[in-house]
Amino acid sequence: MAFKPRIESLELLILRILNTRMELTEEERRNYFNLEKGYQGEVQFDFLTEKLQSNCHILNDLLIESNNKDFQIDSTLIFQEPLYVFEVKYYQGNFIFKPDRLETLSGKIYQNPLDQLKRTKTLLRQLLQNLGYNIPIEGYVVFNNPDFFLYQAPLNEPIIYAPQLKTFMKKLNRKQSKLSIHHNKLAEKLVSLHKVVSPYSKLRAYSFEELRKGLTCSACHSFNVSLCGGKLVCYDCGCEEKIDAAVLRSVDEIKLLFPEMKITTNVVREWCVVIKSQKMIKRILKENYKVMGKKKYTYYV
Ligand SMILES: [Zn+2]
């Protein structure tokens, strides 16, 4: 099991909800899909590292500051030696390698991930030195989308392509590694340094009023749902969910989108639309949250 599991970023969670409940601009939508895709690629890489039998600590997704500069590591594996860092790119399609960038065949330019990796390794090395660790660092860029092809790919760069992942993981699996308390402390230290950045200032302003209301399907996010015998049923994908779970999921959405908003029966009923019964919402909130205030000033935390 990962020493630090991966969770979806707040920005991704919020954009996922906004994408179903309002019209995003072209740029916002692109950013959202890139985040979804990136996350999907990282999770696929996690499936492989989770299967490792050798002795190592797995730290997924770190955002750390070193020398006043932030750097992000998609995946870190601490072996007795070395410490591996992976920059995971789930790019799809045909790309051309240029020394300073990657380009799609249609001319779209991407930052060269090898430069990113170099920067990460430098900043991490400085940080480890400052912390008194002298463990060697090895880094790789992982292109793990099977539908990715790189023209003019360099031969001697630390890149792992999808068809090479199996062999690479086998190599890691054969590694002799003994972890000491020293390695434990390093893993704990890196996790403690992980920064959670608030996404709210980065996102455009939105209001409760302007967002489309209604319960959505937990699987496909469709609004095409209705209540049927205590369950929320989706007409698009057939998914069923207990009504309590669906309401609590909606409360989570409201809290995520509007962290300052007080959760009241009225707010939740307006958000859920298909649930007409105030009593039912009140019961669910009462059973799952702490009741604050009285009568018409009641809210739930
Ligand atoms: Zn559905």
* Residue-wise pLDDT tens digits, 216-248: 999 999 999 999 989 999 999 999 999 999 999
Distance 253 CA to ligand 1 centre (A): 17
44 or 205, which is more confident? 44
Tell me the average pLDDT across 127-155.
96
Written as six digits, the tokens of 153 are 């790919």
Distance 90 CA to ligand 1 centre (A): 26
Tell me the β-bridge partners of 88.
142
What is the predicted pLDDT for the residue at 276? Answer: 84
- Residue 160 near residue 150 (C-beta atoms within 8 A): no
Written as six digits, the tokens of 45 are 């890489």
Distance 235 CA to ligand 1 centre (A): 7
Distance 152 CA to ligand 1 centre (A): 43
Distance 22 CA to ligand 1 centre (A): 18
**Cβ atoms within 10 Å, residue 97:** 16
pLDDT tens-place string over residues 75-122: 999 999 999 999 999 999 999 999 899 999 999 999 999 999 999 999
Distance 224 CA to ligand 1 centre (A): 8
CB under 8 Å to 203, separation ≥6 — which residues? 11, 14, 15, 18
- Answer whether residue 296 shows pLDDT above 90: no
What is the predicted pLDDT for the residue at 295? Answer: 85
Closest CA to 142 of 172, 170, 173, 163: 163
Enumerate the H helices of the chain as residue ranges: 10-21, 26-50, 113-131, 165-173, 181-193, 243-257, 265-272, 278-288
Q: Among 169-178, 194-203, 257-266, which stretch is predicted with the lowest mean pLDDT?
A: 194-203
What is the predicted pLDDT for the residue at 257? Answer: 97
Distance 12 CA to ligand 1 centre (A): 20
Q: In this structure, which residues have their CB less than 5 angstroms from ion ligand 1?
A: 217, 219-220, 222, 234, 236-237, 239
Coil, strand or helix: which one is 207?
Answer: coil
Distance 216 CA to ligand 1 centre (A): 8
Distance 228 CA to ligand 1 centre (A): 14
What is the predicted pLDDT for the residue at 277? Answer: 87
Q: Give long-range contacts, CB 8 A cutoff, 24+ apart: 48-53.
A: 48/165, 48/169, 49/2, 49/75, 49/77, 49/169, 50/1, 50/2, 51/169, 52/77, 52/169, 52/172, 52/173, 53/173
What is the predicted pLDDT for the residue at 242? Answer: 96
**Cβ atoms within 10 Å, residue 109:** 11
Distance 249 CA to ligand 1 centre (A): 14
CA–CA separation, 262 and 251 (whole Å): 10
Distance 217 CA to ligand 1 centre (A): 5
What is the predicted pLDDT for the residue at 1? Answer: 84
The full set of domains in the chain, from first to last, is: 10-193 (3.40.1350), 225-300 (no CATH)
Tell me the average pLDDT across 60-70.
95
- Answer whether residue 202 shows pLDDT above 90: no
Distance 74 CA to ligand 1 centre (A): 30
CA–CA separation, 163 and 149 (whole Å): 11
What is the predicted pLDDT for the residue at 250? Answer: 96
Distance 241 CA to ligand 1 centre (A): 10
Distance 237 CA to ligand 1 centre (A): 4
The CA radius of gyration of the chain, in Å to the nearest whole number, is: 23
